[in-house]
Structure 1
Amino acid sequence: MADFASEGESVGALAEALDGEFVSTLRKCALEHGTAIVAGMFERSCDERRPYNTLLAVGADGELLGAYRKIHLYDAFGYKESEQLTPGDVAPVVVKIGDTKFGLMTCYDLRFPELSRALVDAGADVLVVPAAWVRGPLKEHHWTTLLTARAIENTVYVASAAQNGRKYSGLSQVIDPQGVAVAAVGEADGFAVAEISGERLAEVRKRNPSLANRRFTVTPR
C-alpha cells in the first residue's frame, strides 16, 4: 500500500477502512487473475495518527478471508514503530485457501516464537510472513535464521515476502518443514514459486514429531 513515514511523522493520512479503495482493488485483482492474495495495508484505528498495520488475505473469488492486525510493533534497533501504529489484539489469524491453512504474521512478529506456535495450534500448515526487514549489522542473518527456525520448530512451511532496496534487506523465500529453502529471491526484484505439499508436511511430522512430543502449550492472552 505504502512505505512507513519518516521518524516523527504519521502514516495516518494513508489509512483506509477494510471496505475502502485499497481492499476493493485487491479483491478485483484476485477475482480477475483467479488467485488468492495476501497483502499489507494501513487500516484506520481509533487513533487517527496511529493506524493498524493490517495483513489481508483475499480468496481467488475476491472474498476477504481474514485480516490480521500486527501484534508486535518494532520498538527495537533504535526505531519506535509504536509512535506510528496501534497494535492489534493478541489473537492468531488463520485462513483456509483450498485445502491448506495459512497463518498470518508480519515482519517483527517473526522474532516471537509464541505467535508462530499459536498459529500452528490454530491449524496453520504455512506461515505467511510479509516484511519490511530493515537492513543493518547481522539483520539479514537474523532474518534467514529466524525464518528457518520457525519452519523447523513448528514443522510447517514458511513463505516470506520481503521488501528490498537500500532500506530493506529483501531475501524473500519459501522454506519447507525441514528448514530447506525450496525457492528464494535475493536482493533484486523478483518472485519465487514453490509447491506446498501436504504429503511432505505429513512425512516430516512423522519423522520429526516435535509438536506431538512437546510438554508446553501456548495460550494466547
Structure 2
Amino acid sequence: MRVAMAQISSDDDPAANLSTVVAGIRDAAAQDADLVVFPEAAMCRFGVPLKPIAQPIDGPWADAVVAAAVESGITAVAGMFTPADDGRVYNTLLIAQPDGTRVGYDKLHLYDAFGFQESRTVAPGTTPVTFDVGGTTVGVATCYDVRFPGLFSGLARLGADVIVVPTSWGAGPGKRHQWEVLVTARALDSTSFVVGVGQAVPADPDVADSGAPTGIGHSQITDPFGTVVAAYDESVKLDVHELDLALVEKARKQLAVLANEIHLPTALTPHRIDTENPDGRA
C-alpha cells in the first residue's frame, strides 16, 4: 500500500483549509498513493469556537473532499467537525472513498488533559471504525486515542492491518517524545502499521503559543515490529510511503500478542494470605 502523509497547518478559515486538502489529495494521487491522510482538525484549527463552523458529514465541506477523492481515484482521511445533538460538536474523521462513499469516525477519547478540556465543546463518539483500501482493512483513531492501547488491539481484531491516527498534538515539555513513543507502542500492541499524521507547527507564533493543541508536526509511520519507517520534522510536508503489508502477517506469527492476550475480568479478587494463620490450618 502507498500511503501519503499530508502534514498541513490548518488556520481558522474552513474554505482556505478545504483548498489545502483538495490540493493535497491531487498531489498524493499524482504520486500514485492509494490513501492520503490529513491531520485532525484539517477543517479548522483548535483554539477558536467550533460550533459555528461544524457541518454535517453530507454538508458542503465534506462534499468537496469526497468529490476530490472521486476525481483523483484515491481514499482520503481528513479531520472535520460535525454537529452533535447536545449542542456540542463531534471531532470527526471523514473517510472519503474514490467510489463516492463516505464514512465518519467520531473521536472516542476526548482530550481532557494537560489543562485542556475538549469535552466542554466536543461530544464523544461511541463506535470504532474500519474501512477498505484495495482489499486492506484500515482502522482509524484520533490524537488522544493513541494513549489507549485497547482501541488499537481492538481495531486489529476487527481486521485492521494499518491504523491511521490524524492528530493535532499539543505542545509542551516532553510531548514530542510521548507522541513518538506512543505511535511506536501502539504499532507493537496491535502488530499493525500505525500512520500518525499531525498538524505542522503553525506559522503564527501567537497561535502556536495559544495553549490550544494546534500541532507540533513530527508525523510518523511505525511498522508492526516497532521500526520507524518515516518521520517528519515540524514543517508542512506531503510525501508518499510504501507499506510492506507482508510484515503484518509476519509480525502476527512471530510476535503473537493478539493471540496470546489474556482478557482479565474488570474486577479482580486478590489472593490474600492470613498472616496469623498462613498455612490455612484451624
Query: What TM-score, normalized by structure 2, do the two folds share?
Result: 0.72
Correspondence 1:123-138 to 2 at 5 A: 123-138=159-174
* Structure 1 segments of 4+ aligned residues over 3 angstroms from their partners: none
The alignment covers a number of residue pairs equal to 213
When residues 218 and 70 of structure 1 are mapped into structure 2, their CA distance, relative to the original with a 3 A threshold, is: farther
Query: 1:35 corresponds to which residue?
Result: 74
Which residue in 2 is equivalent to 1:186?
233
1:179 Cα offset (Å) = 1.0
For 1:185, the aligned partner's letter is: Y
1:79 is aligned to 116
The whole-number CA distance in structure 1 between the counterparts of 2:193 and 2:179 is 15
Letter in 1 for 2:55: E
**C-alpha distance 116-218 of structure 1, shift in aligned 2 (>3 A):** farther
For residues 20-57 of structure 1, the C-alpha deviation after alignment (integer angstroms, 9 at most, x for no partner) is 01110011110111110001110011133x11000111
> Does structure 2 retain, via aligned residues, the 8 Å contact 1:164–1:189?
yes
Which consecutive residues of structure 1, in runs of 5 or more, have no partner in the other structure? none
Q: Distance in 2 between matches of 1:116 and 1:153?
A: 7
Separation in 1 of the partners of 2:85 and 2:250?
46
Q: CA-to-partner distance for each residue in 1:149-183, whole Å, 9 max, x for gaps?
A: 00012110001110021532110111111111112
Indicate the structure whose relative CO is greater, using CA pairs within 8 Å and at least 6 residues apart. 2
Distance in 2, matches of 1:75 and 1:40, equals 19
Q: SS of 1:128's equivalent?
A: strand
Structure 1 letter corresponding to 2:91: N
The aligned residue for residue 99 of structure 1 is 135
C-alpha deviation, 1:133, in angstroms: 0.2
Deviations 1:99-144 (A, max 9, x none): 1111111000111111112111111111110000011000001000
Q: Report sequence identity in percent.
A: 41
* Unmatched tracts of structure 2, length 5 or more: 1-42, 203-207, 209-214, 267-282
TM-score (norm 1): 0.91
1:4 corresponding residue in structure 2:
46
